Structure 1
Amino acid sequence: MSKLNGNERWKTKMLMTEHVEQYEQKQDNEVRKMITVDERTMVRDLILLPYIDTMVSKSLKEIEHSGNILKRAYLMAGQAIQRRIIQDTYQLQKELKQRNIRMLADEQEEFLVYYKIFCRGYQERFGLTRDVMRTEISLRLTKYTADLGTVLKDLQK
């Protein structure tokens, strides 16, 4: 039996408001350290952009060696898309660096590619399936092509 048994002061637990505020503030800081959905999307895009750049480069090499009469126009369009990919990659790297987020390739399995994300003192494992990667790459290439088409239409006006 301890000395505190029978002592009525220990039956109710009271917290001072300043302690409650400190606890809530600490919890808010912990949540802010975790990676957000927007940041996760930026990481995903930064993972996919080198794959897209490689695909565009291969396509440009194929066009260079073809006998197509519109070869020059296709090359110019492909180079414009490639410049945009490089710009987006640079912007994402800069933004993630400002937010103190780094990533490293971790491992590859049959259908999954894993990356380690270091975000404000926390480490997380991020995985993408090959099907998701294919779909996202296709969507991004479609977006880049549509943006280029919009620019060309604006030049005609």
Structure 2
Amino acid sequence: MSKLEGNERWKTKMIMTEHVEQFEEQQRNAGSNMITIDERTMVRDFILLPYIDTMVGKSLKELEHSGNILKRAYSMAGQAIQRRIMQDTYRLQKELKQRNIKVLADEQDEFILYHKIFCRGYQERFGLTRDVMRTEISLRLTKYTAEIGAILKEPTT
């Protein structure tokens, strides 16, 4: 905020239209360097996807040693989910790179996992609590499972 913004006296002064347009353009561009809500969601998903992949991988390993008669079907479904996770990770990685956003692991407290976000010249600290992570992972796994279920329900021709 400049010194003149709070001064009502300057509102009555004449300003050339081109200067007003230049100032407004600068204000818009300055705001575009900050990370948007959509980009924050992308960063959150990018952080969570490796955890989801690890969980699915552990579940598949446990399944190998079980005596379940549907073990093969469960294994195929789990592998399909892992492929989707890898596709989503790659897509997010590519999108974040295009937007000039880097995400680095920072530190971990008892209940919060921190990451550093470097976004178009700005640095920000991003924290996720374990409860939020659990909820988001559960929602994402439900979504992946529903996608597999929808594919299985498709009528065969």
Tell me, yes or no, whether TM beats 0.5: yes
Equivalent position of 2:110 in the other structure: 110
SS in structure 1 of the partner of residue 154 of structure 2: helix
Unaligned ranges ≥5, structure 2: 1-11
Q: Unaligned stretches of 5+ in structure 1?
A: 1-11
Spell out the pairing of 1:14-93 with structure 2 (5 A cutoff): 14-93=14-93
Q: How big is the shift at 1:72?
A: 0.7
Distance apart, 1:13 and its partner CA: 4.9
- C-alpha distance in 1, partners of 2:115/2:59? 27
Letter aligned with residue 21 of structure 1: E
SS at match of 2:123: strand
How far the C-alpha of 1:18 sits from its partner, in A, is 2.2
Superposition map of 1:112-127 within 5 A: 112-127=112-127
Query: Residue 155 of structure 1: CA displacement?
Result: 4.5
- For residues 71-98 of structure 1, the C-alpha deviation after alignment (integer angstroms, 9 at most, x for no partner) is 1111101000000000000000011111
Matches of 1:155 and 1:108, distance apart in 2: 47
Alignment correspondent of 2:133: 133
**Greater Rg over alpha carbons, structure:** 1
TM-score by length of 2: 0.89
Q: CA RMSD in A?
A: 1.3
Deviation at 1:156, TM superposition (A): 4.2
Paired amino acid for 2:96: L
> For the residues of structure 1 that align with 2:81 and 2:155, how far apart are their CA atoms?
17
Give TM-score scaled by structure 1 length.
0.89
Q: What letter corresponds to residue 121 of structure 1 in structure 2?
A: G
Question: Given residue 60 of structure 2, which amino acid in structure 1 is its aligned partner?
Answer: L
Among all aligned residue pairs of Structure 1 and Structure 2, give the percentage whose two residues are the same amino acid.
79
Say how many residue pairs are matched: 146
Please give the alpha-carbon distance, in whole angstroms, between the structure 1 residues aligned to 2:79 and 2:155: 18
Q: Which amino acid aligns with 1:119?
A: C
Q: CA deviation at 1:16?
A: 2.8
Relative to 1, partners in 2 of residues 1:145 and 1:72: Cα closer, same or farther, differing over 3 Å? same
Runs in 1 of length 4+ with deviation above 4 angstroms? Answer: none
